Amino acid sequence: MSKWKTTADIAIIGGGIMGCSTAYHLAKRGQKDVVLLERDLLAQASTGLSVGGIRLQFSHHANIRLSLEALRLFEHFEEEFNVDIGFNQVGYLFMAQKKDTWEDFLDSVQLQRQLNVPVEVLSPEEIKHRWPYLEVNDIQGGTFGPKDGYADPYNVAMAFANKARKTGVRIEEKTKVTGIRVEESRVKGIETTKGPISTPIVINVAGPWGGEVARMAGLEFPVKPYRRQVFMTKAFKDIPKPVPMIIDFDALYYLRGEGPGILTGMSDPDEPPSFNTNVDWNFLEKVIEKAVHRAPILEKAKILKGWGGLYTITPDENPIIEAIPQVEGFFCAIGFSGHGFQHGPAVGRILSELILDGHTDFDLIPFVHNRFDVIKEKGEKRAV
């Protein structure tokens, strides 16, 4: 066991994609004396439980910009890190049932095209022609992003962590941060289950526990954890591969191919916030109902397994990414809803610039926490 070091230049709280990516980007810039504290094991919480979706099709320009940057990294990840991340550009098909939703989609397509995102607008007939197993009678239309896809979130996070470790970042697993010492509105250090660390800089990338960690610094942010359940079928040959990520937007339902099976799930608008990640097998019935409505052949599929994880959600479903003005030395990147995995590579770079340069070229105005004082409407339309 290595000797506990009681000082650090920078302490990162949380070893998911955000913490690992930030550690990597700080190390890449030559920053020494960084410690990452993870209360459990790396990438076991939201990151490891995510379904790894990567898309350029967002409705908010800031999210599209984060995705464009991350996509460049995903496309070259294997060369740069020598790690297979299973990056699979199967595409994302968004489908709208309601007229209003369809109009919103078309507005988003305009924005996406302005930012050079390749996206196709498809009629129900064109959707049926390309994916004959889909029921399209109640669909207004769809948009398809051919560059979208998915990758293995665990392997991506571990690749960042391993490079960071090799470059000198100390990674302390099974070490919970229990307090943050703030004096005269400045960070002075942290308390952990292994002992205290004096440090002038603390980064809160604690995912679903981000609100709890912010409270340790005396701050109250509107970030809440919500369970998301995923189900996986046994090998299923009746739907030809590749199966893109198919999002039935108004039904809050999705499916995509995963190995020989089909991965499927939906969000539950009635689910209250909690840290519960148990699988509710009664909920599976609702998922199957939506699945069989959209792809009737799925009636023949058999469920192999299910699991639950946590989304971290803010009132406008966009994150807080910021050097917090009220507490000098306290940085946050929390509240990523269903898109934190794919935005992790870009957010790590942005945080490293904020910390090392005092500014970043990325416009963080949409992500400052005090927007919640004035903005009540939703920023990003949640996909699922």
| List of residues contacting ligand FAD (CB under 6 A) | 13-19, 37-40, 44-47, 49-53, 176-177, 205-209, 213, 228, 230, 309-311, 336, 338-342
- Taking only Cα atoms into account, the Rg of the chain, rounded to an integer number of angstroms, comes to 21
DSSP string, 42-65: TT-SHHHHS--EE-S--SSHHHHH
Nearer Cβ to ligand FAD (53/261) = 53
Question: What residues are paired with 88 via a beta bridge?
Answer: 150
Measured from the CB atom, is 140 or 204 closer to ligand FAD? 204
From the CB of 130, what's the least distance to ligand FAD, in Å? 22
**What type of residue is 29?**
R
Tokens representing 220 are 């109250």
**Could you tell me the smallest distance in angstroms from the CB atom of residue 382 to ligand FAD?**
11
Q: Pick the closer one to ligand FAD by CB: 102 or 311.
A: 311
Q: Minimum distance from CB of 178 to ligand FAD (Å)? A: 7
CB of 21 to ligand FAD, least distance (A): 8
Nearer to ligand FAD, 184 or 270 (CB): 270
Q: How far is the CB of 200 from ligand FAD (least distance, A)?
A: 19
Sheet holding 177-183, edge to edge: 177-183, 186-192, 197-198
Q: Which is nearer to ligand FAD, 128 or 181 (CB)?
A: 181
Nearer to ligand FAD, 42 or 96 (CB): 42
Per-residue tokens: 119: 């996206």
261 versus 340: smaller Cβ distance to ligand FAD: 340
- Which residue bears the tokens 């790894």? 52
Secondary structure letter of residue 18 according to DSSP: H
Contacts (Cβ under 8 Å, ≥6 apart) of 336: 18, 207, 312, 319, 343
Q: What angle do CA 80, 83, 88 make, to 5 degrees?
A: 95
Place of tokens 């009540």: 376
Q: What values do phi and psi take at 174, rounded to 5?
A: 50, 40
Nearest distance from C-beta of residue 341 to ligand FAD, angstroms: 3
The distance of closest approach from Cβ of residue 137 to ligand FAD in the complex, given in angstroms and rounded to an integer, is: 28
Task: Give 100's contacts (C-beta < 8 A, 6+ positions apart).
Answer: none
